[in-house]
Amino acid sequence: MIILVIIIALWIDIRYIEPNILIEKKLEIGKGNMGEKLKIVHFTDTHLGPSYTLEELKKLVEKTNKQNPDLVVFTGDLMDHPGQYPYKEEIGKVLSGIQSTYGKYAVWGNHDHGGAGVRYYEDIMEAAGFTLLQNESKAVYTEAGHKINVIGIDDALLGKVDIQGACKGIKEEAYNIFLMHEPDLVERVSANNYDLVLAGHSHGGQIQIPFIGPIYTPGLAEIYTHGLYELEDEKYLYVNSGVGTTKMEIRFWNPPQIAVLNIKLPTVSEDIQ
């Protein structure tokens, strides 16, 4: 009887409680206390559908705005089955409510290409006020004069990745934020072209075993599965465990999250302008 009660309680948590908890994962990146700080809110893998609704997305928008972010980034997989999703026109209206000082940026995920997603994703993100990066970069200048390059590549599973094209003209002296859907692609990018890489795709495995980690992650999220990695000195990768679920509407030891990253920027140099 005790074992049965434990199993039932565990199932209730995995299926009905934990998938509906949205946490704020806060991280400090960079060394020293001098210079300007940049606050980034990163969310990914919403997989809008029966298991993640527009009402829940509205709550995500509210949580994001409470952080007063400088940048907001989304790293793909907006709808779980885009061709079947009935409220496509509403998504852009909801996401347009996100406010940020220096803009909102997004890249493509495999679900944004597949399942007829390619027909809708670009228009939705444009309506939401996001700049959709597809093997390209955009420069942002902060009030203190820092140059921030936001670099984004296409999805690797169903799109066409062009890392060289995305990094064209990028200078190491600026602070370079690299957006990709699949985190293992970071191994194809020269460390000279990024200071911080933000990715999703893995869902953190959805199910994690305490002190062990994910029991399964998809292709191109097998080396880097979740959390913060310092790949070289002051060169970081953050793999966000995402918001929604796919295939199975379950999570364990791995609640949905938005990441709030406070970046300590280096001292402004005259040669980055």
pLDDT of residue 272: 45
Tell me the residue type at 166: A
Residue 273 pLDDT > 60, yes or no?
no
Is residue 53 predicted with pLDDT exceeding 70?
Answer: yes
Q: How is residue 13 annotated by DSSP?
A: I
- pLDDT-derived band at 30 (thresholds 50, 70, 90) equals confident
- Say which residues have a Cβ less than 8 Å from residue 46's Cβ, sequence separation at least 6: 52, 57, 60, 77, 78, 79, 242, 243, 244
Q: Which residues contact 211 (CB under 8 A, 6 or more apart)?
A: none
CB burial of residue 122 (10 Å; 0-12, 13-18, 19+) = middle
Q: Is the pLDDT of residue 269 over 70?
A: no
pLDDT at 216 over 70: yes
Q: What 8-state DSSP symbol labels residue 256? A: -
Average pLDDT (104-126) is 98
What is the CATH topology of the domain spanning 2-272?
Purple Acid Phosphatase; chain A, domain 2 (3.60.21)
Residue carrying the six token digits 């939401």: 128
For residues 260 and 111, what is the distance between their CA atoms, to the nearest angstrom?
Answer: 24
Mean pLDDT of the chain: 95
Average pLDDT over residues 158-187: 96
> What's the pLDDT at 271?
44
Mean pLDDT of 157-182: 95
Is pLDDT at 177 greater than 90 in this prediction? Answer: yes
Higher pLDDT, 79 or 1: 79
